[in-house]
Structure 1
Amino acid sequence: MCASAGQYSANGIRSLSMARLTPLDLRKQEFKQSALGLNKDQVHDFLEMAAEEFEVLIRERSVLQDDLKDLQSELDKYKEIEHSMHAALVMARESATQAVKAAEMEADAILSQARTEKSALLFAAKDQLNDIQNEIRDLKLKRDGFIMNFKTILNTHLSALTAEFSQDAVMAEPKLAPAPTPGSVKSAQPAPVISHHEERIIDFSKSDLTLSDLDDNPIETDSVESEEKDRAAFEDALDFDPNEDKDDDIFVDEDDESNGK
């Protein structure tokens, strides 16, 4: 239509500007009359209808432009939200990466510290174990020395007591009568009688009997009371077995410790 209007303008139609065609332009458009021209009423009606249709299109276009502006504004908002979300996502990724790195560094530091503490504890435990083993060896040596000294003391006192009992037994023997002269002996003299108690004293010096095997009958000597006290003092000592706790569980052998490891 615009091209036709331009063609008509070249043939005497009212010249139109380069602006867009409006419904008012259609209504005011005039055509040159000719003998064989078109019907004015039909042309006018057509132009009026075209102008009305054109107005409808313009209104629709205006509405669409408004809708487009609204949509564009909403789109801009969504784009801004998208940009913010993208920035937040990037920041979250960076934060997550930094958090992972920090966690890894912290875990490495904790593991390193744990290894160091473990090594220190192991060294301390080994040193303590060596100290305990040395102390056990020292205690064993002291125990063995004490046992040996105690045995020596017991044997010394036992020898002294045995000698004392033997001496007392000899002193307690009855004196024999002087030998008779020839011709004065009318009959054989009976052999001296040794009491049962004196016989036990003599046998004690020649046997392995301990003081605990003696009965409670008193010995008729001047040293009865002292001997009874000595016997009571050493009966428990003689019953002591120095090897009884030789293998006590308190003292741990080094071989058992090494096997336990």
Structure 2
Amino acid sequence: MGCPGGPRCPLTPVLLPFLVLLATAGGQGSPKCQEQAVAAGGELRLLPDKTPQEREKVVWRACLDTGHKLQILKIKNKTAQLGRDSPFYQRVFFGVKSLFLAIRPARTADSGIYWADFEGTAEAVTEPCFRVLVWEPLHKLLLETRILHWEQDRCNLSLLCTVPGATNVSYSWSCTGGHPGALVHQPQLDLQLLGDSDPTVCFCNATNSLNWRMAATNVTASCLSAGLGASWSYCSVKGMLCLLVLGSLGTAVAITHLLLRQRGPPSHGAGTG
């Protein structure tokens, strides 16, 4: 599905000259936009650096990450025009003097490139673009410990960090004692601990441009718990086998004694004269 009233961003004739002009002014590569991150549900506020005094109208436009070009707002004679079918309907606010653009509440689908076009000015005005990132804040961090297996006196385990509903999350790990395997930047960390090693606590740190969350777990305690569980299972099985053997011996003795009582004392034959 294309943009309302126009094709997708990569083919938009209005956007292409604008990007080319910015790239030429920058000297090389793609245009550098001012990055601005905002939390979903918060307010996005964009303020132009320069506002020419003599102008007929100002048009705020956006090329969203979904691939659509939109005309967000047109300001002329201190009045704004916004279509009712716009995804920003009843979420857009503007300033008459500073010509700022505010969107609240912001949504993750609002991420993209924004810029303002000044029309009817005495001189050409090139307004820098804004690279808007609308992210979900990190509300909850889950840290899961999985014991893989015991290998002689070594405990092999895996730690997994997850942030439900969040995207663009960076992870980092650290463990007490300077564990050599705690230098990865992935949501999963694999460890191997010796059975007699010092107590080790591992920390998972999850961050994005809005906030961060941290969780910790005592991996030594987890390994000891799993090891004791395995030892208890072995002892339980061995004890059950011993009880079965003793029970069988006791049953055999009881049956033998019962049979002897049923047969009675041995009989002696009568003598002859």
The interval holding the TM-score normalised by the smaller chain is under 0.3
More strand by share: 2
More helix by share: 1
TM-score (norm 2): 0.25
Comparing both chains, which one has the higher relative contact order based on Cα–Cα distances under 8 Å and sequence gaps of 6 or more?
Answer: 2
- Structure exhibiting the larger radius of gyration computed from Cα positions: 1
